[in-house]
Structure formats: structure tokens, C-alpha cells
């Protein structure tokens, strides 16, 4: 059988035995019963689900963060474009959720960026553009890694579910063999 999954131990593309086959081998070596194996598999599946929920929350946060960074970049670029024209920039900004205020921004050389955790720093426009561009690239790269991790995790969930089905079917097959052996010995 050709495997396309990754190994449980080394997390690389099958340089050793995949997790579910190792679990089946462990069951034979340790003489695990079907309930013990099912518990092990269901525990692993539960752990995958917990990690998946955490990764999905991180993905939602990043997906909300990227448009905010892009919006800030647009505002700083607009300020950069208005530099030296002498006209004031009129902008509506959100003071609180659902509360907006209008501001007239004269030609200025600095920009204040909200960094979070009640921290706001003043940067030159060039520094602000560089910082925001770097943050945007980092956020997009993190999102790509997160999507790849989620795909790997979904593959592992599928493999575990298939393994649970294989163990269940193996148990049904073993019971049928035992039942056939007892009926032939009784006859």
C-alpha cells in the first residue's frame, strides 16, 4: 500500500512507519484489545480537533488583521501623496465602535501608529510605511504557514478516522471468524 501521509514521529514524508500502522503494530505487540485501541485513536482524534480549533482562531485573527494593516498603509500612502501640495487631508476615523470623528490633517512629517497593548508610537512617514509593509508581509507569510498546518491537520484527522474504521472492521472480522470457528466446532 502506498502512503501519502506524513509520519507521526518525524513529521516528514514517510521515512518511518506512519502513526496508524505503528498503532496497529503496537496493538499486536502489546496485545491491546479493541477498546484500548479505539480509546487511543479517539484520544488522538480529540487532540487533533483541539489543535485545529486553536489554528482556526489564529487564522481568523490574521484574516482580520491583514485588512487593517492594508488600510493603514493606504492612509500613510495618501499622506505621502499629499505631501507638499499644501492642501489638508480630511478623514473620518473611528473613535470607538460605531462613533466616528472628522479630522483635517495638515502637512505633517510624522504618523502615530497604534501598536496595541495601549501603546502608540510616532514614526516618520517613511518608517511607518516600512514598518507596516513588513507587518503585512509577516502576516501574509504567517497565514500561508497556518493554512498549510491546517491542511496537514485535516489530513491527520482523516487518516485517524480511517484507522478507526479499519480497527472496527478488523474487530468485526475477528468476531465473525470466532463465531464461524465455534459453529464448526459445535457441529
pLDDT digit string, tens, across residues 87-124 = 888 888 888 888 999 988 888 888 989 888 889 999 99
At 88 the pLDDT is 83
In whole angstroms, give the CA distance from residue 179 to residue 186. Answer: 11
* 29 or 75, higher pLDDT: 75
**In this predicted model, what pLDDT tens digit does every residue of 20-49 receive, in sequence order?**
555 555 665 556 677 777 888 888 899 999
CB proximity list for 3: less than 8 A, separation 6 or greater: 14, 18
Task: Tell me what pLDDT residue 10 has.
Answer: 44
Give CA–CA dist 126/111, Å, rounded: 9
Q: What is d(CA 19, CA 74) in angstroms, rounded to the nearest whole number?
A: 48
Helix (H) or strand (E) holding 164: helix 125-186
52 near 153, Cβ under 8 Å? yes
Binning the chain into helix, strand and coil, the percentages to the nearest 5 are 65, 15, 20
Beta-bridge mates of residue 123:
111
121 near 113, Cβ under 8 Å? Answer: yes
DSSP 106: P
Amino acid at each position: 500500500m502506498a502512503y501519502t501521509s506524513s509520519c507521526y514521529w518525524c513529521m516528514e514524508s514517510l521515512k518511518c512507519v506512519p502513526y496508524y500502522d505503528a498503532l496497529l503494530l503496537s496493538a499486536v505487540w502489546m496485545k491491546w484489545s479493541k477498546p484500548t485501541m479505539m480509546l487511543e485513536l479517539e484520544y488522538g482524534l480529540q487532540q487533533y480537533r483541539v489543535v485545529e480549533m486553536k489554528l482556526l482562531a489564529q487564522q481568523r485573527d490574521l484574516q482580520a488583521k491583514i485588512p487593517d494593516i492594508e488600510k493603514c498603509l493606504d492612509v500613510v500612502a495618501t499622506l505621502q501623496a499629499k505631501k507638499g501640495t499644501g492642501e489638508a487631508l480630511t478623514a473620518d476615523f473611528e473613535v470607538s465602535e460605531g462613533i466616528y470623528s472628522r479630522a483635517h490633517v495638515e502637512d505633517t512629517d510624522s504618523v502615530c501608529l497604534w501598536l496595541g497593548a495601549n501603546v502608540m508610537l510616532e514614526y516618520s512617514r517613511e518608517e511607518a510605511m516600512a514598518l507596516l509593509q513588513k507587518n503585512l508581509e509577516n502576516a501574509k507569510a504567517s497565514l500561508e504557514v497556518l493554512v498549510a498546518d491546517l491542511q496537514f491537520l485535516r489530513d491527520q484527522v482523516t487518516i485517524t478516522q480511517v484507522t478507526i474504521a479499519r480497527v472496527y472492521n478488523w474487530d468485526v472480522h475477528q468476531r465473525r471468524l470466532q463465531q464461524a470457528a465455534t459453529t464448526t466446532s459445535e457441529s
